[in-house]
Amino acid sequence: MSESPQWWRQAAIYQVYLRSFADGDGDGIGDLAGVRARLGYLADLGVDAIWFTPWYPSPMDDGGYDVADFRDIEPTFGTLADAERVLDEARALGLKVIIDIVPNHCSDTHRWFTAALEAGPGSPERQRFWFRDGRGPDGAEPPNNWRSRFGGSAWTRVVEPDGSPGQWYLHLYSSRQPDLNWESREVRAEFEDILRFWFDRGVDGFRIDVADGLVKDPDLPDVEPGDETPFSDQEGVHEIYRAWRRIARSYPAERLLVGEMWLPDLRRSARYLRDDEMHAAFNFDFLVCPWDAGRFREVIDRTLESHEEVGAPPSWVLSNHDVTRPVTRYGRAGDTGFSFADRLHGTPVDRELGTRRARAAALLAMSLPGGIYLYQGEELGLWEIEDIPGELRQDPVWERSDHADPGRDGCRVPMPWSGARPPFGFSGEDAEKEPWLPQPSEWASYTAEAQAIDPGSVLSLYRSGLRLRKLAEGELRWLDQAPGVLAFQRGSFACLLNFAEEPVPLPEHREVLLSSSPLVDGALPADTAVWLRLEGGSR
């Protein structure tokens, strides 16, 4: 699959959250040396590509999404030479490498922003950002009522070079992440050069952070609560990605562009996937879907229809570094949907139920047409860690919400690799420093080492699923089954997932290929998925 010119159409792509994947130098923080030591694990898992969250120099106010230099490597993670070694060694194992790019904003330590502060109002340096005079007496009020997605106002006032209270700058996220102004031709040229810088070093593609948010309504109008129209999915953003696609196509093996867009309409998301824009985008409707057969079928149908209209491959995702892990999400009572407005932190969790459902959801996602994205630890069945002490939390959401929202640290706890106690091999056997976020002692039986020798483990399920998913070929055709059962066929391959409370009989089949939980007297239990080879299929 990795050798196909359009390998991304069916690829399994594994997200590495670098700080939490593996620590090679023993300082408690993941790094590129740790990744190099674990590349064999990823190849054995059966994925086709790795996606790295930002590895650039950063103050780490927002886990690296506050970038200080887009052409270098954060020293905590290693060097540019280390990154090039990762690229070479991954390629030798047949693994593609995708990296994050963050075009909506940068760090307040970026050379452009420090120059803007020094240059003062009206300067060309400030035109790269959204600096505006304030409203009210002496400009003491923000330019408009926009809210940061991390809580609080989306505007921060600066002190001018002469020491006086000055203009305000826009930041849709942390105040340490000033938004770039994409009306500036200089900003556009800079990022096109950044793309080439990394493509020339062998990177196979980019995951584009906040891909819908680059263009803002220049009038900066006030909005009603929840209205993001002036700074999300503006029509002008498509021109940017057409230029990027031309760059991606200029290389002998076309490079991949993957968009992150949290939009309320799949058809709006699909517009970014027209032939001259991006190649793929994350399917967040699937990720947030409640545990219900009808709702999942509706999302799958909408996804397939909207992507078919633009000729793009659909993609399926159950977790990432920003959302509650599936084991916890599916283990909550009632509606198991998810939104950033309500992460349901503190709601009781039935972990056994959540694990059963997460295993079943994994087989569903892996059997659908298109690509799949996995987030590190998902293949180990890890759950959200919700009892991290407040003084150890590092997500800026925690502070900006006045401790009302614990934020995203719970899905970013470092990976457990081996051993019976923390740090579970994350920093090696002789590490002196604790991991940057604490691991629970209950993970002793969830390490990669322990699960690798257990045929019933979540890791074994993922390894088998990633190997066997290639048997699912062709278009999806729904099968009639009992109420509460989601069932479809792709060629001689079939997937059934039982959302109902009682076991249901299996249709006639030639072979059971894989099941997320054991069958009961040949029937499919509740919250279980099964893959079948149907009668007449060939081996």
C-alpha span between 110 and 15 (Å, rounded): 26
Please say if 209 is a catalytic residue.
Answer: yes
pLDDT in tens, 476-487: 999 999 999 999
Please say if 260 is a catalytic residue.
Answer: yes
Model pLDDT, residue 339: 58
C-alpha span between 480 and 343 (Å, rounded): 35
Evaluate if residue 340 carries a pLDDT over 80.
no
Q: For 200-219, what is the mean pLDDT?
A: 98
**Quick check: 66 and 59 in contact, CB under 8 A?**
yes
- Count other C-beta atoms under 10 Å from residue 140's C-beta: 11
- Count other C-beta atoms under 10 Å from residue 139's C-beta: 16
Evaluate if residue 157 carries a pLDDT over 90.
yes
Catalytic residue among 125, 209, 378, 405: 209
Task: For 89-136, give the secondary structure using H, E and C.
Answer: HHHHCCCEEEEEECCCECCCCCHHHHHHHHHCCCCHHHHHECEECCEC
Q: Which residues pair with 14 in a beta bridge?
A: 50, 374
Model pLDDT, residue 337: 63
Peptide bond into 423 cis (omega under 30): yes
What contacts 534, CB < 8 A, 6 or more positions away?
A: 489, 492, 493, 494, 507, 508, 509, 510
Evaluate if residue 539 carries a pLDDT over 50.
no
Catalytic residue among 27, 72, 260, 292: 260
Model pLDDT, residue 264: 87
Model pLDDT, residue 401: 86
Task: For 472-511, give the secondary structure using H, E and C.
Answer: CCCCCEECCCCCCEEEEEECCEEEEEECCCCCEECCCCCE
**Quick check: 38 and 47 in contact, CB under 8 A?**
no
When mean pLDDT is compared across 9-13, 194-198, 221-225, 429-433, the lowest value belongs to 429-433
pLDDT in tens, 394-431: 998 888 888 988 999 999 999 999 999 999 999 976 66
DSSP state of 391: G
- Count other C-beta atoms under 10 Å from residue 62's C-beta: 23
pLDDT in tens, 275-284: 999 999 999 9
Q: For 138-161, what is the mean pLDDT?
A: 96
Token pair for 88: 């070479």
C-alpha span between 126 and 119 (Å, rounded): 7
**Quick check: 526 and 485 in contact, CB under 8 A?**
no
Identify the CA nearest to 314 among candidates 291, 332, 352, 287: 287
User: For the chain, first and last CA: distance in Å?
Assistant: 19
